[in-house]
Amino acid sequence: MTPPPPAPQPSYAHGTSTTPLLGDTVGANLARAVAAHPDREALVDVPSGRRWTYAEFGAAVDELARALLARGVTRGDRVGIWAVNCPEWVLVQYATARIGVIMVNVNPAYRAHELEYVLRQSGITLLVASLAHKSSDYRAIVEEVRGRCPALRETVYIGDPSWDALTAGAASVPQERVDALAAELSCDDPVNIQYTSGTTGFPKGATLSHHNILNNGYWVGRTVGYTEQDRVCLPVPFYHCFGMVMGNLGATSHGACVVIPAPSFEPAATLEAVQRERCTSLYGVPTMFIAELNLPDFASYDLTTLRTGIMAGSPCPVEVMKRVVAEMHMEQVSICYGMTETSPVSLQTRMDDDLGHRTATVGRVLPHIEVKVVDPVTGTTVPRGAAGELRTRGYSVMLGYWEEPEKTAEAIDPGRWMHTGDLAVMREDGYVEIVGRIKDMIIRGGENIYPREVEEFLYGHRKIADVQVVGVPHERYGEEVLACVVVRDAADPLTLEELRAYCDGQLAHYKVPSRLQLLDSFPMTVSGKVRKVELRERFGVPPEPDGR
């Protein structure tokens, strides 16, 4: 009698490890790195030529911590950072953590509409901002909204006398006060708020603890083999977990050096920084690596010091990965999957994984984390090889959404599983493929866009009677934003130029629709819901010249 076939293995994996999690706060962990590597470089800013050893960086962090205390900022207060990549961003990250202040990341692309919401919702009392970025005059935008943000007491601008005045105040606060505050902190205290969202409403403030982000940065760095010998080039934005957790904390928790190539991504500046600073690791979303590889003088850069790096944000095409490994010398490049709410990384490829695993999967579970793939309706774990919703649990799951317990309960179930909203398949070997999204989130060049937020803003246009926003394929960015609009008066149609002008200065540039489709009505389900999937299918090709 033939024995029955073995039962299929469930789509569940747990990252076991004999190495324990870190029990430090961010500040205590930095102090250990300073003590262990005082003379090694911790931070290099290529544009300004400034550089800090670990001893100098630790002293600068404590000086800024004293300066914040002198301004009346105290444990549990929220300090916002609205700036491009620069050394001051990093100093604010570690100084706030040192004294138990919660840093709130504000996207540099935000305009008045979005800035006001974040300032009000998080209750930021002090905002540190750049003076300007691209077409944004930050001071003018702050002045526009500050009267509607009662908690905001002060704004300090980097590169302005207000920054010098802030740091000068450090002299009035003894170092003992910083040390005493630091000693009272718990690794489970909140330390960071990052705004993200589902497909409805405004962004939600994912609240992350020291334990969340310090351990995630540490394990991402450990998985690519970081030591104090590594120099990590970070062209990715600090306001994302990619930059501040996987980058900054991934480096400092191993005594490595952070290298800032430019305030925002520039392919030539990135490769120049790798060459000049002898970087061993380089981060980016696939579109960044494509831009670097496509530079006319790419072959002139000496990238032989590179050995590893991290790609995340979207899948990497096979041919691009081949060139990154062969021509950029990144034989140990790693793919990561995560979300802000999980600090961010849950899955990661390993240094010795083959090309197929690096391009077709997002890796396998990291140590001390659990993942499973479930039927999104019943919540039961599906067999390996079957598609379902990816869920994750462990030290990395956020504390919750800032002051939104109901939305927190929608995302994290009673078993503390984070519901990612992504459709995934777990292979027999435990590696995971992402095959789609349950939610309607649009990912444009690594930026997450939430249609409902854009729709709610566009409803304010006088010509728009109804609007649905969907993502459609784009050769360069992966997806682009399409606004499907029913106008109030067919005799007075809306143009794409009018729509974009309405968004200018109010929405971040990547959220502004690049395509417009005028419709008489939307396809609906029997229950009266708009069939966004049909809109995506129907208009997922370039529009006709008349826009209809």
Residues 174, 285 within the same domain: yes
Residues 495, 392 within the same domain: no
Of the three residues 375, 399, 426, the one that is the final residue of a domain is 426
Cross-sheet strand order for the sheet of 204-209: 154-157, 126-129, 78-82, 102-105, 190-196, 204-209, 400-401
Q: 451 and 463 in contact (C-beta within 8 Å)?
A: no
- Residue 31: phi and psi, rounded to 5, are -60, -35
What is the C-alpha separation between 55 and 59, in angstroms, rounded?
6
Residues 236, 167 within the same domain: yes
pLDDT (0 to 100) of residue 545: 45
The CATH number of the domain holding residue 532 is 3.30.300.30
- Burial classification of residue 76, based on how many CB atoms lie within 10 Å of its CB (0-12 exposed, 13-18 middle, 19 or more buried): exposed
Over residues 416-442, the pLDDT tens digits come to 999 999 889 999 999 999 876 676 778
437: in domain: no
CA atoms within 13 A on the CB side of 534: 8
Residues 325, 231 within the same domain: yes
Nearest 5°: CA angle at 126, between 60 and 344?
75
- Token match 């971040």: residue? 508
Residues 369, 486 within the same domain: no
Residues 253, 375 within the same domain: yes
Q: 95 and 68 in contact (C-beta within 8 Å)?
A: yes
CA atoms within 13 A on the CB side of 495: 4
Over residues 353-387, the pLDDT tens digits come to 999 999 999 999 999 999 999 998 789 999 999 98
Of the three residues 366, 396, 426, the one that is the final residue of a domain is 426
Over residues 483-527, the pLDDT tens digits come to 999 998 999 999 999 999 999 999 999 999 999 999 999 897 544
Of the three residues 376, 395, 426, the one that is the final residue of a domain is 426
143: in domain: yes
Q: Report the predicted TM-score, pTM, of the whole model to 2 decimal places.
A: 0.84
- Token match 């360069």: residue? 476
Query: For residue 457, what are the domain limits?
Result: 442-538
pLDDT (0 to 100) of residue 394: 98
Find the mean pLDDT for residues 383-394: 95
Where does the pLDDT of residue 465 fall: very low under 50, low under 70, confident under 90, or very high at 90 and above? confident
Over residues 218-261, the pLDDT tens digits come to 999 999 999 999 999 999 999 999 999 999 999 999 999 999 99
What is the C-alpha separation between 135 and 242, in angstroms, rounded?
24
Residues 287, 411 within the same domain: yes
pLDDT (0 to 100) of residue 201: 60
546: in domain: no
431: in domain: no
Residues 483, 365 within the same domain: no
185: in domain: yes
What is the C-alpha separation between 205 and 340, in angstroms, rounded?
10
pLDDT (0 to 100) of residue 52: 99
Task: Give the strand pairing for 515-518 and 478-487.
Answer: parallel
- The helix (H) or strand (E) run that includes residue 74 is none
Over residues 185-201, the pLDDT tens digits come to 999 999 999 998 543 46
Residues 472, 395 within the same domain: no
Residues 406, 450 within the same domain: no
What are the structure tokens assigned to 229, written together?
A: 């010998």
Residues 219, 294 within the same domain: yes
The CATH number of the domain holding residue 55 is 3.40.50.12780
Find the mean pLDDT for residues 140-163: 97
The b-or-e profile of 44-56 (16+ CB within 10 A means b, else e) is bbbeeeebbbbeb
Provide the number of structural domains found in the chain: 2
pLDDT (0 to 100) of residue 89: 98
69: in domain: yes
What are the structure tokens assigned to 242, written together?
A: 């990619």
Over residues 43-71, the pLDDT tens digits come to 999 999 999 999 999 999 999 999 999 99
Residues 482, 405 within the same domain: no
548: in domain: no
What is the C-alpha separation between 506 and 522, in angstroms, rounded?
26
* Closest to 252 (Cα-Cα) out of 34, 460, 50, 429: 34
Statement: residue 448 has pLDDT above 80: no
7: in domain: no
What is the C-alpha separation between 291 and 269, in angstroms, rounded?
12
Side chain identity, residue 476: R
Determine what percent of the chain is predicted with pLDDT higher than 90.
Answer: 81
Average of per-residue pLDDT values in the chain = 93
